[in-house]
Structures are given as C-alpha cells and as structure tokens.
C-alpha cells in the first residue's frame, strides 16, 4: 500500500516526533523543506546556491525555487511509493503546484494529518523551555507570533487542500482530514496519538484503494 501524506501542526505540537513515527510505520521518507534547503546548501547544488544567496540576503525563498527543490526530492527513488511532507506546501500557489505535480504522475495526496493542541498550553510549554535552555530569541511574544502565523497562514491551507481534493478526486476517498487531539505536555499522548493517527490513515487508505 502506498501512502502519500502531509502533516501539519502548530509549533510545539510535537509534529517532528509524530512525523518520525508515522514515517517509520509506513516505511516512507519524511520530506521537509528545511532539510531540503540544508542539504542543497551543504552540497552546493545549483538550486542550493540560489537558496543560500536568498537566505543570506534576508529574503524568503520564492515559491518557484521551493517547488523546484521539492520536485527534485519527490523524484528520488525512496519517495516512489510514498512520502510524508512536513513544512510544504505553505502557500496557496504551492498547494496548486503540488496538486498539479502529483496529478501529472497519476497520484494525489492520500491524507492530511493535522495535529491540534491547546494554543495557550503550547505557548506556556515553549516559553518554559526557552527559559530553561536560555533561548534569548524565544520570548513569549515571539512564540505567540509564530502560533498566530500558523493559524492565519498554514491551518487554512489544510482545509483548502481537503476541499480541492474532494471536488476533483478520481476516487471517493482521496484526502481525509484527520485531527489528532494532542494534550500538552505530551506524555501518554506521545504513545497513544501515533497509534490513533496511523490506524485512521490506514483505514482511509484502505477504503480509497478498495474503491479506486
């Protein structure tokens, strides 16, 4: 069974931990734009040189360059039967590009996994960690700002992708929004949530494959 997945969640919701476990369970690579940027910069690829010049100048990497880097990574052999995207897409243009890219190969996202955590509790936990680890740039104001940016810019994209794929799906179940209710700090949920998530995703994929 293939699994082409996307995971989204606010900073501090434990997305990295959940992504690692889901990736292992499905035997697919986790693909994050941050890792892609760092790899290409470190290896001085042509795209990496462009990214470095932009980042060093204090600018945001444009969608066209980000899309090109993600396309290169998705074309690698280990992503042929599936992947878990983390940190991409982040804009409506990237959503459109990803849909078109996958469709050009006869594929589509199978599920969007959305982690949900209480915002005030996340802020409290991240603020405490910043103090303990002496992260001077992680003030409560900065942490709260990142939470607001996620709610304003990223969370709506997950809903947009769900709506787009429901209207254009070649099979009855193409993309399913799954909300993993994560209480913070993560103790018991760290063990329970991945099981619930993977169970739901596998169920949705099984239904889609059986009908499609």
Report the catalytic residues.
Answer: 15, 90, 129, 135, 146
**83 — phi, psi (to 5°)?**
-165, 165
Q: How many CB atoms within 10 Å of residue 210?
A: 10
What single DSSP character describes residue 11?
A: T
Q: Is residue 14 left, alpha or beta, with left meaning phi > 0 and alpha meaning psi from -120 to 50? A: left
Q: How far is CA 59 from CA 32, 49, 54, 56, 147, in A?
A: 19, 14, 6, 8, 21
Is-cis flag, bond preceding 69, omega within 30?
no
**115 — phi, psi (to 5°)?**
-85, 135
- Residue 160: which of 172, 177, 146 has the closest Cα? 177
Contact 137, 176 (CB under 8 A): no
């Amino acid at each position: 069974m293939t699994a082409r997945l996307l995971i989204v969640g606010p900073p501090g919701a434990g997305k990295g931990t959940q992504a690692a476990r889901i990736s292992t369970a499905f035997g697919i690579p986790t693909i994050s734009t941050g890792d892609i940027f760092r790899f290409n910069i470190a290896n001085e690829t042509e795209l990496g040189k462009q990214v470095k010049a932009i980042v060093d100048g204090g600018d945001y990497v444009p969608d066209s360059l980000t899309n090109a880097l993600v396309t290169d990574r998705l074309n690698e052999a280990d992503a042929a039967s599936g992947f878990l995207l983390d940190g991409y897409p982040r804009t409506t243009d990237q959503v459109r590009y990803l849909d078109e890219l996958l469709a050009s190969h006869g594929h589509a996202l199978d599920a969007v996994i959305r982690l949900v955590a209480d915002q005030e509790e996340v802020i409290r936990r991240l603020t405490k960690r910043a103090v303990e680890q002496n992260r001077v740039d992680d003030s409560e104001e900065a942490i709260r700002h990142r939470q607001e940016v996620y709610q304003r810019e990223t969370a709506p994209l997950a809903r947009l992708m769900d709506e787009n794929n429901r209207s254009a799906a070649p099979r009855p179940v193409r993309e399913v929004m799954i909300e993993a209710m994560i209480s913070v700090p993560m103790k018991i949920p760290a063990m329970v949530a991945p099981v619930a998530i993977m169970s739901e995703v596998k169920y949705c994929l099984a239904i889609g494959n059986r009908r499609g």
